[in-house]
């Protein structure tokens, strides 16, 4: 599908110039329409996503796609008036009685390039925060979910003008051209390799970027952990959406003395949570299926023990060697390496020897170990005794660090990410700061401790 990207962009720029600071009521109305679009058409959304995946749990679609969007909108609309208010900040005593404030200001046009794995929620969650901050949005959804992208484009035209939100459909070449537009901010969610190209294209225009990438997020199971509860949480995080989640546990580290106990608990959790394929999600396409199955085949061919409970369930790869692809690539599928380590100190060293993860999951109630993990590891998030659910906390920022991403959003963090926090200085009528003007008096400089 051909688009006049420059023409659409220029039309949005004109609209921004005409209304540079949308009011609270305008922003809340846009968010309300976004909620109506999602709620009224949820059955169409479910059908489109299931068509794109071939098979996907409708329960998981409601949880991770529809409910996630509606909850984020409700939270933003409820708190937006408070976020928009300028707030006072202190000034040095030498400048009193002057005043200073920080005033959030819309950036203008926000570009969003969204992925295929959660084609509705990961397309609209950045839009929610951008709307809350008073911006307009150009959105490029993934070409790998064409039915959902087409539905999104059609509904956007019904509920919004192109001056507010426009959806651009197209293939990778369209995405490349899209990323070269001089946005006021560009959000990309996807792989680290493509993220580098997006950041490079944006750099030509000095466009600031938020990169939500992925990587290999570890789950650490300490000796004091409740093995059964840890296994249930890990399999929940790995099983959701067929493992096609950037936040999914990518591999598990456990003290070697507990390895077999954890493997047994993980197998029980798989049987309990994934008893059949009705609630399963298929790989997005044959190429992705073949890639993940190839990781498992390579592990088997190199003598690894692979415990496979079926094509739609997580498959455990026990103690794979570090040379295997399953230990180098982001898996983004059902394979789950389980690795024995000497102790938690060795586990921390294992994690720190690799690129920073999007999230580190740790199963322990040991406060000392929790403090060590907080101080000695780096990741986008640190989660204890659970997986994935921190993403549903609107007061927490969502984002990575290093190869797992750049910048964070959600809730107030998203509002501020897509705002310019403008410093404002108010000088009073009877300013004392004139004493700082030339000619400089030595005695005064000493009195003010400036010399």
Catalytic residue (one of 212, 255, 403, 416): 212
User: How long is the chain?
Assistant: 451
368 close to 348: Cβ distance less than 8 angstroms:
no
**Residue from 399, 12, 6, 9 nearest 209 by CA:** 399
Burial tier of 441 (Cβ tally within 10 Å: 0-12, 13-18, 19+): exposed
Q: What tokens does 255 get? A: 């003290």
The yes-or-no answer on residue 345 being catalytic is no
CA distances from 324 to 266, 297, 329, 414 (A): 22, 11, 9, 38
- Report phi then psi at 300, rounded to 5: -60, -45
Catalytic residue (one of 65, 164, 246, 304): 246
**Residue from 173, 136, 170, 177 nearest 153 by CA:** 170
CA distance 317 to 307: 7
CA distances from 183 to 138, 193, 417 (A): 9, 21, 14
Q: What tokens does 278 get? A: 């009705």
CA dihedral 400, 404, 406, 409 (to 10 degrees): -40
105 close to 419: Cβ distance less than 8 angstroms:
yes
The yes-or-no answer on residue 298 being catalytic is no
Q: Which residues pair with 31 in a beta bridge?
A: none
253 close to 218: Cβ distance less than 8 angstroms:
yes
Active site residues: 212, 246
């Amino acid at each position: 599908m051909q688009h006049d990207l420059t023409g659409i962009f220029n039309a949005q720029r004109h609209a921004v110039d005409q209304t540079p600071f949308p009011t609270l009521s305008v922003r809340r109305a846009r968010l309300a329409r976004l909620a109506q679009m999602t709620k009224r058409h949820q059955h169409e959304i479910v059908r489109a996503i299931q068509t794109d995946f071939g098979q996907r749990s409708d329960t998981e679609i409601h949880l991770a796609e529809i409910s996630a969007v509606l909850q984020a909108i409700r939270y933003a609309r409820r708190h937006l008036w408070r976020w928009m208010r300028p707030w006072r900040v202190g000034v040095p005593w030498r400048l009193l009685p002057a005043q200073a404030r920080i005033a959030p200001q819309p950036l203008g046009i926000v570009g969003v390039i969204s992925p295929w794995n959660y084609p509705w929620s990961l397309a609209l969650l950045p839009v929610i925060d951008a709307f809350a901050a008073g911006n307009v949005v150009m959105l490029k959804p993934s070409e790998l979910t064409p039915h959902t992208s087409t539905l999104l484009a059609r509904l956007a035209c019904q509920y919004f003008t192109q001056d507010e939100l426009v959806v651009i459909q197209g293939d990778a070449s369209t995405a490349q051209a899209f990323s070269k537009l001089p946005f006021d901010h560009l959000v990309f969610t996807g792989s680290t390799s493509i993220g580098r190209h997006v950041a490079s294209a944006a750099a030509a225009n000095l466009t600031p970027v938020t990169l939500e990438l992925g990587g290999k997020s570890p789950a650490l199971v300490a000796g004091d952990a409740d093995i059964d509860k840890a296994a249930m949480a890990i399999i929940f995080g790995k099983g959701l959406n067929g493992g096609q989640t950037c936040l999914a546990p990518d591999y598990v580290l456990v003290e070697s003395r507990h390895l077999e106990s954890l493997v047994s608990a993980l197998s029980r959790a798989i049987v309990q949570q994934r008893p059949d394929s009705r609630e399963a999600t298929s790989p997005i396409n044959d190429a992705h299926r073949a890639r993940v199955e190839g990781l498992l085949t390579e592990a088997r061919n190199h003598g690894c023990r692979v415990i496979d409970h079926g094509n739609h369930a997580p498959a455990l790869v026990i103690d794979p060697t570090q040379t295997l692809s399953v230990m180098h690539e982001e898996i983004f599928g059902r394979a789950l390496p389980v690795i024995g380590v000497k102790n938690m100190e060795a586990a921390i060293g294992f994690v720190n020897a690799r690129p920073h993860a999007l999230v580190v999951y740790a199963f322990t109630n040991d406060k000392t170990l929790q403090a060590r993990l907080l101080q000695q590891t780096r990741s986008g998030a640190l989660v204890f005794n659970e997986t994935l659910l921190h993403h549903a906390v609107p007061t927490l920022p969502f984002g990575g660090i290093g190869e797992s991403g750049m910048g964070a959003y959600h809730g107030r963090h998203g509002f501020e990410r897509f705002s310019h926090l403008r410093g404002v200085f108010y000088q009073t009528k009877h300013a004392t700061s004139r004493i700082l003007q030339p000619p400089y008096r030595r005695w005064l400089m000493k009195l003010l401790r400036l010399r």
